[in-house]
Amino acid sequence: MTNRRLEQLARQHGTPVVVFDHQVIRRNYATFKRHLPRVQAYYAVKANPDVAILRTLYAAGASFDVASVAEFMLVYDLIKHLPPKEQQDYIWDKVIYANPTKPKATLEALDQYKPLVTYDNLNELKKIKQYAPHAGVVLRLRVPNTGSMVELSSKFGCDPGEAVDLVAAAFRLGLVVEGLSFHVGSQCTNFENFVQAINMAAAVMQEARSRGHEIKILDIGGGFPAAYNRHVKPFSALAKKIGAEIDRLFPADLQILAEPGRFLVATAATAVASIIGKAVRDGKTCYYIDDSVYHTFSGIIFDHCQYHLKAFKPGRTEICAVFGQTCDGLDTISQSEELPELEIEDLVYAENIGAYSNASATWFNGFPPAKVVHVNV
């Protein structure tokens, strides 16, 4: 999308505004499928649960990874027009509840759909058996998260050494272990994490097979990095490594799925904000914008992600600070941005802000989240 078009949309709708380009979403999905043809993409709804985004991915052929009943129902609303039998088939084949820890009320609500759910310990397994006995289960392994922007291995995943015992425990309880899963950490730029994790999963599958338990699914999780900057290696390089290991270690009939979230939506959105204040502090120009880390820029806090601001106005740049609109001192968007001399009501924008941004926005301080505009839907 051109800067001119982006500025027009901001003037038309007012700021703050987040513009999603669905052509980019479709292109990202096509890239994923082109480079990993054996892998079915289960979009991680938590990355951005906007219904318009879900519709675009559903139409493109995506499946869905959900982590709450509310997310499950968002997906279910997309498919409720299908005949009942097709709905059941879709849920079984196209939706995975990948949050390893679930309240009993969630399991009770999902059981009628015979869902695919994850677990990583015996207590969770017993809970599933009691409250969702019709579920198929997927065991989540703990794998290296070195070099990932958001580390997950300290919170989820069983030790590979206890994995086969947990597989056997599920079968003893009368549940069926459909698959293994892992997650290498969000925005994983260390591609060796994937290689190590795939090899660990292969070893667990082999041991399980030797004990009479055949596993049919491998879920390689998320972590596929979005191209936030030129330092992120191309997805094709990662896919080449993943594809080679999958082909080397697993039979052709093994079902492979993944949970891309950030990769599909991060680069599809741009946030536009207005300058609402300007001051000079300790010799540095400080700008205040009508958005904040409690709103579109929440990824700075929750996602360890830094979004760089640009201006539509040309001119020689200088180092400046940018703050959000709330009264909280935490609301600092950047202490070191390069922007030209700006005035009140000038516009700035941040690219690649489609994941874990407006999805976790709040109404803190009484300020509503930014308006969301969809183009090329």
Of the residues 158, 188, 286, 327, which is catalytic?
A: 327
Residue 224: CA atoms inside 13 Å, Cβ hemisphere, count? Answer: 36
Query: What is the Cα–Cα distance from 66 to 259, expressed in whole angstroms?
Result: 10
Q: Write down the residue that tokens 């989240």 correspond to.
A: 369
Q: In terms of residues, how long is the chain?
A: 377
- Can you give the three-state secondary structure of 66-99, one letter per residue? ECCHHHHHHHHHHHCCCCHHHHHHHHHHHEEECC
Q: Which amino acid is at 17?
A: V
CB 227 within 8 A of CB 262: no
Name the 3-class secondary structure at 60: helix
What dihedral angle (degrees, nearest 10) is formed by the CA atoms of 113, 114, 118, 122?
120
327 is catalytic: yes
Query: What is the Cα–Cα distance from 213 to 170, expressed in whole angstroms?
Result: 11
Question: What is the C-alpha R_g of the chain?
Answer: 22
Asked whether the CA dihedral 121, 125, 127, 131 is positive or negative, the reply is positive
Q: Which amino acid is at 212?
A: G
Q: What is the DSSP letter of 250?
A: S
Give how far Cα 336 sits from Cα of 56, 128, 150, 190, 245, Å: 36, 49, 23, 27, 42
Which residues on neighbouring strands pair with residue 140, listed in sequence order? 181
Known catalytic residues? Answer: 327
